[in-house]
Amino acid sequence: MIKNQIKKVAFTWPNGYYNDGIKLGIGVSDKLDFGYLVSEVPANAAGTYTTNQFQAAPTKLTKTMINQDHQLQAVVMNSAIANSCTGAQGEADAHEEQQLVTDKLQLDPSLVGVASTGLIGAFLPMDKIKQGIAQLSPHHGDNVTRAVMTTDKQPKHACVQLEMAGKKVTITGFAKGSGMIHPKMATMLGFVTTDAAVDGDFLQQMLSQNVDTTFNQITVDGDTSTNDMVVVMANGKADTPELTSVDDADYEAFNTGLHTVLGELAKQIAADGEGATKLVECNVSGALNEMEGQEVAKAIVGSNLVKAAVFGQDPNWGRIIATVGNTTAHVDTEHVAIMVNDVPMVADSVAVPFDEQAASQKMGADKVVIDVDLHAGDATGQAWGCDLTYNYVKINASYHT
């Protein structure tokens, strides 16, 4: 019932937000590479961040700002250079970016976050950054969604609308990510905005729970970067009652909308994996518990052997069942079932007859869905990845040069 109240709509910003994205020449490409996202008023905020031990300077700074009182009003962001593993200079540069935006917008520094993505180990060209911040101006298009792209083939965004207390609420998100994607919060950045009013601590709780079943369930190459960050801002401009707990009347609707946006962005990242030609979705049923269902699903979409088989349209279910067996999940090893794009291939852990040529043709679709039943319980799991192609190696063999 609640899902029917959530409408996916064309990209539009919620009330009270503006952005900009410009070409600053931070890297060697001619893409937009610098921008900002701003709320007209201070917004309650939440964030999740990379678990990589080498956490980039902008990621650490934004985490500190949000953790102070779960508020944020602006985020300045760039692609091409990650400002990671840059020592004291990198931290000073991130703080200088924050101060420049603070001065430009006349905000408290605690309300300004910083995000960077790109090459690890390089320093930001601060002379260009200063010029760029001076050039930024309020717009309502989608330039900022393109300013964070690195090897992404296209911008990634999602938007839903719903009613809360009889008023229209919009939840809009955008993300970047194509390689180094294996979140436990990858060079992956995600930003979600809403005009709903949500308590900051409660927003943090909702974000953390939803990230576990969306962004943390995608993988492109098994590598987690130093700059991962997902930030949600709720500025209350829709003039709805503030959500503070799961008992609030509109909690379920808002939470479903948030999950929808995060899930759509996660799938877009997986589908746009470096060199990828197919989105791979794995649905696990019959798991002992949700944690084990998620573990198995992510292991399957992350297996290089499975990914290569998907690229080659090879219906080699042995790659899948072997991956299941390599996890720590409970499995009824006598009764596992496997299906690929609706073609049953395994029942009771042994092959069933199927037309291999027809199955191979079906694996040529843009999306390959792998269904696995562990027969160990009633829980489920879901994850997304992509195929492993020759082009992935080509892209990453020359990323630096």
Annotated binding-site positions for substrate: 150, 176, 187, 274, 396, 401
The residue written with tokens 């073609």 in the block is 343
C-beta of residue 170 within 8 angstroms of C-beta of residue 13: yes
Q: 227 exposed, middle or buried (CB, 10 Å; 0-12, 13-18, 19+)?
A: buried
Give dist(CA 169, CA 162) in Å, integer.
5
Among residues 48, 187, 224, 260, which one is catalytic? 187
Residues 6+ apart with CB under 8 A from 140: 13, 18, 19
Annotated catalytic, 187? yes
Give dist(CA 258, CA 210) in Å, integer.
8
Nearest to 232 by CA among 204, 212, 252: 204
* Rg (alpha carbons) of the chain, rounded to whole number: 22
Token representation of residue 67: 């953790």
Token representation of residue 246: 């799961």
The one-letter amino acid at 382: Q
Residues 6+ apart with CB under 8 A from 104: 133, 134, 136
C-beta of residue 386 within 8 angstroms of C-beta of residue 280: yes
Nearest to 80 by CA among 52, 122, 113: 122
CA angle 306, 308, 312 (to 5 degrees): 115
C-beta of residue 158 within 8 angstroms of C-beta of residue 260: yes
Give dist(CA 95, CA 90) in Å, integer.
9
Nearest to 266 by CA among 186, 329, 204: 186
Token representation of residue 174: 């955008």
Catalytic positions: 187
